[in-house]
Amino acid sequence: MTTRIHAPTLTVPGPRPAPILGTYGNVILFFNDPIGYTRGLFQTYGTVVALAAGGGTRVYSPHLDCPGTVFAYGPDLAREVASQHDVYHKYPVSLTLYPLGEVSPRKASLKRFGVGLLGVNGAEHRQHRRLLMPAFHKKRIEAYRDDMVAITQQVLDGWRVGERRNVAKDMRLLAARISTKTLFGEDVSEQAGSIGPIIRDSLELLASAGTLLFPFDLPGLPYHRLLNIIGQHDADMRAMIARKRALGSDTSDMLSLLIKVRDEDGTALTEDELIGHTSVIFGGGYETTATSLAWTLFLLTQHPHIAADVLNELESVLGGEAPTVEQLDELPLLERVVKESLRVIPPGTWNARVTSQPTELGGYALPPGTEVLVSIYQTHHMPELYPQPEKFDPDRWGSISPTVFEYTPFSAGSRMCIGATFAMMEMKIVLAILLQRYRLQLVHRAKVDRFGAIVTKPKYGIPVVVHTQDRQFRHGVGGVRGNVREMVDLPA
């Protein structure tokens, strides 16, 4: 991979560079509140807008000479970007930190971590997706049901009635355990030094402002710690792959299957590729699923009628038990609640790409190397697609059937999330068990703010008090503070 020497000027309209800091200031404003900042840009400039007029910004691409950053929204533009696989390329989850060309041994692990399907394009992407598909076959996914149920019940057994908990943190720990068990075959919980928590910590460091703004390998800086952690992860993964190859048993975890899978011509995934894919699969199964669960539980605390109706459905079908795979199809309201939560507050905010060749988007010419971030959130809040878009209304799903470009929580096109079925099953299982067992009451006057450039998370968590499921859903409704009120209509 080579970098370009001269970056053409970007002609897409946008705000002028910030005073003093220049385009760097625009980037800081974006990372401070991606949804709020870009919503203002769209209102001013339309459906296609540059982060800074004239370009010169970079938030996603590893290329130093990136012509600039462009934001877009709407199903037509989403279709253009998602459908032209060979024009709009993806880059690894390490974003601007991804090292191009030859690197030092310290940075070598960054060439693998968070790469997977995100770091390959064209024919290579198509081949890798074929190799991964058996691990995400419907029957394989359904086989993970028992692990999901057992881990969820174990986690909830540790909760105590009357205690205050940060349910956003709880869902992260729960999702991390499920991802570790299904991906690696080991439920290591929070065991120090285990692979699951190491990947989780690495992903959080990758998304931190300190790492992105100060990528210097100096003791005390987050980037230095990131290199330490992913270096350890690299060594641990190689040891785990060696153990599984030596055993050669037909275990059910995804990694064991990926080690054995072969393409039609006999091609197998290399050790480096296995490390890249497993880190991406873990990240997708942990971060976005955990965040989706947290936002859904928050929304239910503020919509008592919906919470009551969901519980009625769960109890009538399940009678207090965990759902079987077949019973999940008998819970249409639960399905609609999850889908509506993913619409109102999609955890993944962007479908991000980099142009591989000159192209046009929305009538504007884009030079090669231009970053294009299509807003999932803004598209999901278009009133012409979703009347009263800020209203949390699961019933709307009884009368609408949006296209894959109008509703894109799992992306669309050839890069649609390979783990979407897994994530939906996990969310429904966790919610079905939790809601029958406990009522979560939001702490009075809780401040709920969004934050995050890659995944939109609750900045201060979601503080709740745990109650037995007593159906007192109106308790704790109203009084929410924070910019979440810009995203969804909530009681006063």
Two tokens, residue 22 = 């220049």
The shares of helix, strand and coil residues in the chain, as percent rounded to the nearest 5, are 50, 10, 40
Q: What band does 396 get if pLDDT is binned at 50, 70 and 90?
A: very high
Q: What band does 479 get if pLDDT is binned at 50, 70 and 90?
A: very high
Rounded mean pLDDT, 55-84: 94
Q: Is the pLDDT of residue 5 over 50?
A: no
| Helices 332-344, 289-301: inter-axial angle, 10-degree rounding | 100
Give the per-residue pLDDT at 7.
60
Query: Taking Cα atoms as reference points, which of 48, 97, 63 lies closest to residue 379?
Result: 48
Give the per-residue pLDDT at 1.
37
Two tokens, residue 436 = 């029958």
Strand ranges of the sheet holding 350-355, from the earlier edge strand across to the other edge: 48-50, 69-72, 371-375, 350-355, 88-89
| Domain range 1-111+349-408, CATH class | alpha beta
Mean pLDDT over the full length of the chain:
92
Q: How would you classify the pairing of strands 88-89 and 350-355? A: antiparallel
Query: Taking Cα atoms as reference points, which of 208, 164, 237 lies closest to residue 451?
Result: 208
Give the per-residue pLDDT at 3.
41
Domain ranges of the chain: 1-111+349-408
Give the per-residue pLDDT at 284.
80
List pLDDT tens digits, range 398-429: 999 999 999 999 988 888 888 999 999 999 99
Find out whether 479 and 447 touch, Cβ atoms under 8 Å: no
Place of tokens 């012409």: 384
Two tokens, residue 27 = 């980037």
- For the whole model, what pTM was predicted? 0.94
Comparing 187 with 434, which gets the higher pLDDT?
434
Rounded to the nearest 5°, which phi and psi values hold at 54? 90, -10
DSSP 55-111: ----SS-S-TT---EEEE-SHHHHHHHHH-TTTEE---TTGGGPPPSS--TTTGGGG
In sequence order, the 6+-apart residues with CB closer than 8 A to the CB of 286 are: 172, 175, 176, 179, 196, 199, 200, 203
SS3 state at 208: coil
